Amino acid sequence: MTDDTSATGGESGRMTRRGVLALVGASAIAGCSSIDSLGGEREATIDAYNLPDVPRDEEREAPIPPVIPVDIETSHFDAVRERVRSLLATLPTPLGPEEIPNGHIRQHLTGAASDASDGLDDARTARTGLMALRSLRSARENARYAAAGWGVVESGRTAAPLRDEHSRTVSAARETRQEHEYVGMDPVRAALVHARIETGLERASDMDVLPREESELLSVAEWGETAESAQAYLDDARHLRARFAASLPSDTGTVRPTLSDAAEALLADIRDRQADLPPETAADDRTPRKMVFEELRWEAESGTSRLTDAVGPASAVVNANGRLARFRALDRIQSRREADELARPSDGTAVREIRQTAYDALTAALESSSQPELVRTVLVDAGHRVMAADRELTHHQGEISATTLDRSVADYWHATALARSALAATQQTVRALQAD
């Protein structure tokens, strides 16, 4: 966020825009480290050179990558790669104006093909199996988009068979959901794996997001992507289910009652906490401490509160774990606000310390947990906040207003509070899963 406006006094109301620019220019020439606001107050500025040295986008990685406690077979990855390559092989190389005269449409298809190739590369260097699975799924979707669109030019392909294909996949996914068995021994591991399976099957059976392109060719391309996406989610969910079952003794029983009971207990606590949420702040300012408070409050208040509204019992447990962490994070932020510990930083050194504290909190939470795979589900989200804050820092150059950094500062504080709350929330979730 870049809110660097200043309060204005009575006399300054008549100053023209040219006069304001002249004032700013004069301040810069004089080498001032701050600019007099028109109301007589001085607004702190920070030299962007003194901000944390953040890697460029292409070099930045998520601080905490997502994982799943299942070994994904190499053959599954290989099959998806071959699927992507076979789809891309249907396209002429290069795909130029002679093949598709319409530049807008051609750009969509070539862009999708390029993204599919990038997805193959990303999967090859992915830090975890789950990240590789996501990259390959995206590659499949993009490759099918390009191939289906080219099929319109090459052979007059229509959307009808793609709609039928999608409908068959949705039916298969719904049938798989109905017959899904919640096998498991360790309830924590079972919750993490079954939550991924539930989510995959839910995405595969989703009929809400359907193509709406006006162009016939791009509509067919999107139907190809939609059909491929559903099949990819279904394939991955089935593979995870098979691999998880194969890792267990053949006589392993169901953990569904355990997951359901734990979810009910955790969601009941969430409903109680929602009733005691602190009131929203009435102040009209946009300070970073107000931003982080409002965002955490909204995250704590929003989401599933009853098991019947969840994708499934495993997802309800994992999601509840994250929600409880946010309630605790909100309490931390509220305490820091009341102790006046969330002042807007006025120099680069303070910003560096705030950022380093966030990174240290992520590392400490992961290393100190006896259930790192469950606590990681919260830390992944906290890490995304850190990445968003880092990304904002790369946009600044020269002398900037301290308020320009409000968005990044709020995100670092958000990540720190969430990371420091993840362990206690996870311990509560584990107790619920292990209750007799």
The answer to whether residue 42 sits within a structural domain is no
- Residue 55 confidence (pLDDT): 79
pLDDT for residue 328 is more than 90: yes
User: How many C-alpha atoms does 196 have within 13 Å on its Cβ side?
Assistant: 27
Mean pLDDT of 160-174: 97
Based on the fold, state whether residues 239 and 260 are members of the same structural domain: no
- Residue 212 confidence (pLDDT): 73
- Residue 60 confidence (pLDDT): 74
The answer to whether residue 372 sits within a structural domain is yes
Helix, strand, coil shares of the chain, percent, nearest 5, are: 70, 5, 30
The answer to whether residue 395 sits within a structural domain is yes
Name the burial class of residue 302, with classes exposed (0-12), middle (13-18) and buried (19+) by CB atoms within 10 angstroms of its CB: exposed
Based on the fold, state whether residues 268 and 318 are members of the same structural domain: yes
pLDDT for residue 18 is more than 70: no
Domain that holds residue 350: 57-61+256-434
DSSP string, 321-373: HHHHHHHHHHHHHHHHHHTT--PPP-SHHHHHHHHHHHHHHHHHHHHH-SSHH
Based on the fold, state whether residues 116 and 180 are members of the same structural domain: yes
When mean pLDDT is compared across 10-14, 171-175, 253-257, 332-336, the lowest value belongs to 10-14
The answer to whether residue 381 sits within a structural domain is yes
Mean pLDDT of 127-150: 98
User: Among 211, 246, 281, where does a domain finish?
Assistant: 246
Is 0.85 topped by the overall pTM? yes
The secondary structure of residue 169, as a DSSP letter, is H
Neighbours of 393 (CB within 10 A): 18
Q: How confident is the model at residue 283 (pLDDT cuts 50, 70, 90)?
A: low
Neighbours of 217 (CB within 10 A): 20
The answer to whether residue 108 sits within a structural domain is yes
- Residue 61 confidence (pLDDT): 85
User: Among 246, 277, 298, where does a domain finish?
Assistant: 246
pLDDT for residue 26 is more than 70: no
CA 172 to chain centre: 28
The answer to whether residue 29 sits within a structural domain is no
How far is it, in rounded angstroms, from Cα 227 to Cα 204? Answer: 9
The answer to whether residue 83 sits within a structural domain is yes
pLDDT for residue 430 is more than 70: yes
Based on the fold, state whether residues 227 and 310 are members of the same structural domain: no
pLDDT for residue 17 is more than 80: no
Token pair recorded at residue 171: 């039916």
C-alpha closest to that of 344 among 409, 414, 393: 409
User: Among 202, 228, 246, where does a domain finish?
Assistant: 246
Q: How confident is the model at residue 42 (pLDDT cuts 50, 70, 90)?
A: low
- Residue 32 confidence (pLDDT): 39
What digits encode the pLDDT tens for the residues 206-224? Answer: 988 677 767 999 999 999 9
How far is it, in rounded angstroms, from Cα 325 to Cα 21? Answer: 47
Q: How far apart are the first and last CA of the chain?
A: 49
pLDDT for residue 255 is more than 80: yes
User: How many C-alpha atoms does 51 have within 13 Å on its Cβ side?
Assistant: 25
The answer to whether residue 97 sits within a structural domain is yes
Based on the fold, state whether residues 154 and 122 are members of the same structural domain: yes
Q: How confident is the model at residue 58 (pLDDT cuts 50, 70, 90)?
A: low
Percent pLDDT > 70 in the chain is 88
Question: What value, to the nearest 5°, has the Cα angle with vertex 359 and ends 356 and 364?
Answer: 120
- Residue 39 confidence (pLDDT): 42
Mean pLDDT of 318-327: 98
* C-alpha to C-alpha distances, 112 to 91, 149, 187, 231, nearest whole angstrom: 11, 10, 40, 18
Strand-by-strand arrangement of the 42-47 sheet: 34-36, 42-47, 399-401
Q: How many domains does the chain have?
A: 2
* C-alpha to C-alpha distances, 102 to 92, 108, 139, 142, 220, nearest whole angstrom: 16, 10, 24, 19, 16
How far is it, in rounded angstroms, from Cα 255 to Cα 281? Answer: 43
Based on the fold, state whether residues 223 and 264 are members of the same structural domain: no
Token pair recorded at residue 226: 């939609």
- Residue 11 confidence (pLDDT): 34
What digits encode the pLDDT tens for the residues 87-97? Answer: 999 999 889 99
- Residue 71 confidence (pLDDT): 96
Mean pLDDT of 182-204: 98
